[in-house]
Structure 1
Amino acid sequence: MLQLQAQLAAAQGEQAQAAAAVTEARAATAQAQAAAAQAQAATAQAGEARTKLAALETRPQPEGFRNGNTTLKLGGYLKLIAAYSHFSNGSVPSNTLGRDFYLPQAIPTTPGGRGFTTEDFTAKQTRLWLNFDSQVAGHAVKGYLETDFQTTPSASTSVTGGGSQRTTNGYTLALRRAILTVDKFTFGQDWTTFQYTGALPESTDYVGGAEGTVFVREPLIRYSTPLSRQVTLHLGIENPESALAMAGSAAVMESGTDHMPDFTARLVFAGQRGELSVAGLVRQVRGESTGTALVNNTASAGAVGSGVTAGGLGGSLGGKLFLNDARTSDIRFITAYGRNIGRYVGLNFAPDAVYNPATNRLADVDVFAALASAHLAVTPHLRVNLMGSVQTVHYASGLTFAQLNGLNKRAWSAAANLFYTPVKNIDLGIEYRHGERTVVNATIANGEAKGQIDRVEFAAKYSF
């Protein structure tokens, strides 16, 4: 009996130990399950954190910096130009605009003149801009300031020592644009409303086909309003300045005696496949004369004559046609025609009007200009641009060859370039351009003298 009791006690002890082991195993399993749940939660949290981090990294980062309630942004580009130029009929002075970029009116046209070859490096096209954006009492108030070093010639007295390629190559920072926009109104200096800037080609040159395009920056007041989702109307009142020539002289002078602003309007259509711009210009051209000559108010301060005026009227049509859905290739164009609008076209290739002392009146000048280019993306990093432009000038029939001697009559150019972008923000380009200029020459049988330019140009630009 005692032996059986001992065996029963031993069995009960073993059973208790087994029960305790089962309890411990269950607790361990619960702990393992809890640990697994914690690990899964941690994995999910890590995945969520990685997703949020990736979203933050891909989200466009805010640009600029804050100053009170205004956001300021700085941008622009640094640009080097190296040009090799050959002029067929004479030389072009150093440190002049015709050496820095293609300016058709600077092409020499000396009959029988010797060819002239030169090579120039410049960084004057370097550009800086500031953008200001504020919200004031529920109104969108914006400002834009843009400058470069190209506009002011190095010979200007505003450059210490006059600027020189021999030593420091110092050049003056010049105003390009300075505008304030409040809702639909723009005040300040901007591209003229008469111009369609979307037609400007991608070029190593400062303009690219200067003779064929409307190209003016000036002080103005402009009102812009959408007429629909695709159509916008712009109306401008702009600074007047008549550029007049005196019969018998090729010099063009600023009259400085204008009485009325220039009035401009532009209608822009923007669609999926491109843009179309139609613009008009109405102005009065005015000077003062002594009855036999124009009064040069710039050279003769305080001189006063009697007013001579002529009406000016012009129209332009421009556009851009996208050749693919990515909008990386396109065709661009602009054409303009008008009477007494010379300073608006081709960087004032033709005068607004010619003063004829025989009649004591301003004789009309008609201009026609056109510019077209193809912008073709070959690869994401390589693109080609082809461009051509032309301007023709017609003077009033009452003017003789002698009275028009030296004035521009016609110009055209054609160019092709190749741009390569090895990394974002860096552009390297090489371009070849041929241009021709024709002037009225009373000493030649057919009344015309011509000159040509051939230029190979390299550009390196860093945009920021």
Structure 2
Amino acid sequence: MKNIIKSGFMLAAIVSAPSYAGYTFDLGDKDSITFGGFIKADIRTVSGDVSAPATGNDYWIGAASVTDDISTTKFTANETRFNAKYVHGDVTGFIEIDFYGGGGNQIISNSSHPRLRHAFIKYKNITVGQTWTTFMNTSAIPESADFGGPLVAESFIRQGQIRYTNGGLQLSLENPYSDKGDNTQDSIPDVIAKYTFKGDWGNVSVSGVARQLNTVGGDTVSAAGFGVAGRIKTFGKDDFRFQVHGGKTGRYVSVVTARDLVGEEAEQSTSIMAAYRHYWTEDMRSTVYYGTTDTDLGNVKNNHVAVNLFKNYTKQLSFGVEIGNFEMAEVNKNSNYLQFSAKYVL
């Protein structure tokens, strides 16, 4: 693994920023169609005592599986995604898919089913459909080769909702789901409020979520949690990104490190994520990030740390490398990973 890591830095450069809208066709009368997305190819090596359960070591989620001395290398392009935005006056429709939907095999075809990411309608200050939960601050997600970066400590959910926006204030009713509970009894929507402070310096959001959870034993449990997240400009083009979450946030944070319910009780967790991005040149940059989550009932503590190097060869094309470690501290198990990426933004 040390030789792989060394060669990784020698070849350095990595995947660029998130996908951007690519091509817009003006239809007149304030009507337009925009097509966007990106093509992303990854080569990923994982070695150690922990296996990433997300589609077979493709990327780390908040939880992982203990194994014995694994060493795997995998070539994938599943993060590739396409989107379309339709604007008709005051109405906007947006839809996006990627290819993490499963299917196929690695014997012959390596096929992968499309997966719905976003599908929503926006009319003035009302948004209806499936998209990122109002609880999260998408600008606080670090740039990374590993899908999503330190998901172990991030708020990272897409789901159905109805959202009201007025300046920095957002209020929403969102899809209820009692993770590890009796979700057949989930009838009261999750309630979320967020306020985002913005300026030339960046942004900071403060959010809260309140839910009614249904246990497998037939009881009803109330749960509430908070989040503070942001992206702060520092020197030149550099920035600092952070997320802090606490309370009974459950499935809203850490991608199943914390669960909504453990037995008949709502689980409480604390999550911290910090990332710094530095531009070495106009077209080369690095991000170092760290994420950690502790839970009270499950007694789980997972950590994810990584550093990467990105380089753009054209405005749309970038290559790069990321090296990192995922740790299940409660059982003293961890794995290192090395990931090369190429990304072409449409």
TM-score by length of 2: 0.89
Q: 1:196: Cα distance to partner?
A: 0.7
- Whose Rg is larger? 1
Higher helix share: 1
**Residue of structure 1 equivalent to 2:313:** 422
- The residue aligned with 2:174 is 238
Matched, 1:368 2:270: yes
Determine if the alignment matches structure 1 residue 126 to structure 2 residue 80: yes
Note the 1:347-386 alignment, pairs <5 A. 347-355=255-263, 362-386=264-288
SS across alignment from 1:198: helix
User: Match for residue 15 of structure 2?
Assistant: none
Partner of 1:456: 338
Q: Give the letter for the 2:37 counterpart.
A: G
Superposition deviation, residue 287 in structure 1: 3.2
Between the aligned partners of 2:285 and 2:83, the Cα distance in structure 1 is: 26
C-alpha contact (below 8 Å) 1:107/1:452 kept by paired residues: no
What corresponds to 1:268 in structure 2?
A: 196
Given residue 105 of structure 1, which amino acid in structure 2 is its aligned partner?
A
CA contact (8 A) 1:279 1:316 kept: yes
- Cα 1:104–1:313 change in 2 (3 A) is closer
CA positional deviation for 1:309 = 1.1
Greater RCO between the two (CA within 8 Å, min separation 6)? 2
C-alpha contact (below 8 Å) 2:152/2:302 kept by paired residues: yes
Distance between the aligned counterparts of 1:288 and 1:344, measured in 2?
20
User: Matched residues in 1 for 2:276 and 2:246: separation?
Assistant: 22
1:106 aligns with 2:60: no
Q: Which residue of 2 aligns with 1:309?
A: 220
**Aligned positions of 1:137-156 closer than 5 A:** 140-150=90-100, 152-154=101-103
How many angstroms does 1:408 deviate by?
6.0
Q: Render the CA deviation track for 1:102-131: whole Å, top value 9, x for unaligned.
A: 1241231x5xxx311000010000010001
1:74–1:92 distance in 2 versus 1, CA, 3 Å: closer
C-alpha distance in structure 1 between counterparts of 2:266 and 2:107, whole Å: 45
Q: Distance in 2 between matches of 1:288 and 1:383?
A: 48
Report how far residue 256 of structure 1 moved: 2.9
Q: Report 1:37-56 matches (<5 A).
A: none
Whether contact under 8 Å (1:134, 1:142) holds in the other structure is: yes
Looking at structure 1, the residues matched to 77 and 211 of structure 2 have their Cα atoms a distance apart, in angstroms, of: 37
Q: Give the equivalent residue in structure 2 for 1:15.
A: none
Q: CA RMSD in A?
A: 1.9
Structure 1: where are the runs of 5+ without partners?
A: 1-60, 155-162, 227-231, 245-252, 290-306, 356-361, 396-406, 439-447
For 1:452, the aligned partner's letter is: N
Shift of 1:346: 1.1
Greater share of strand: 2
Q: Percent identity?
A: 29
Alpha-carbon offset, residue 65 of structure 1: 4.3
Distance across 2 between alignment mates of 1:434 and 1:62: 37
Q: Does 1:409 align with 2:317?
A: no
Distance 1:381 1:408 in 2: 43
Runs of 4+ in 1 over 4 A off after TM superposition: none
8 Å Cα contact 1:107-1:453 kept in structure 2: no
Question: What amino acid sits opposite 2:234 in the alignment?
Answer: L
Task: Give the Å deviation of 1:68.
Answer: 8.1
> 1:379 Cα shift?
0.5
Any residues of structure 2 matched to 1:13-28 within 5 Å, and which? none
Indicate conservation of the 8 Å contact 1:83/1:120, yes or no.
yes
Could you say what secondary structure the match of 1:115 adopts? strand
The answer for the alignment partner of 2:120 in structure 1 is: 179
Q: Are the equivalent residues in 1 in contact too, given 2:226–2:247 (CA < 8 A)?
A: yes
**Other-structure match for 1:26:** none
Deviations 1:140-186 (A, max 9, x none): 11111111012x233xxxxxxxx111111111111001110100000
Q: CA deviation at 1:64?
A: 2.2
Q: Which is worse superposed, 261-270 or 316-325?
A: 316-325
1:316-355 aligned within 5 A = 316-324=227-235, 328-339=237-248, 341-355=249-263
Q: Residues 105 and 408 of structure 1 are in contact (CA less than 8 Å); yes or no, is this contact kept in structure 2?
A: no
Q: Secondary structure at the match of 2:139?
A: helix
**What is the letter of the counterpart of residue 381 of structure 1?**
D
Please tell me the residue identity of whatever aligns with 2:278: L
Provide the secondary structure at the position in 2 that maps to 1:205.
coil
Q: Distance in 2 between matches of 1:92 and 1:319?
A: 27
Contact 2:215 2:261 in 1 (8 A): no
Matched, 1:190 2:131: yes
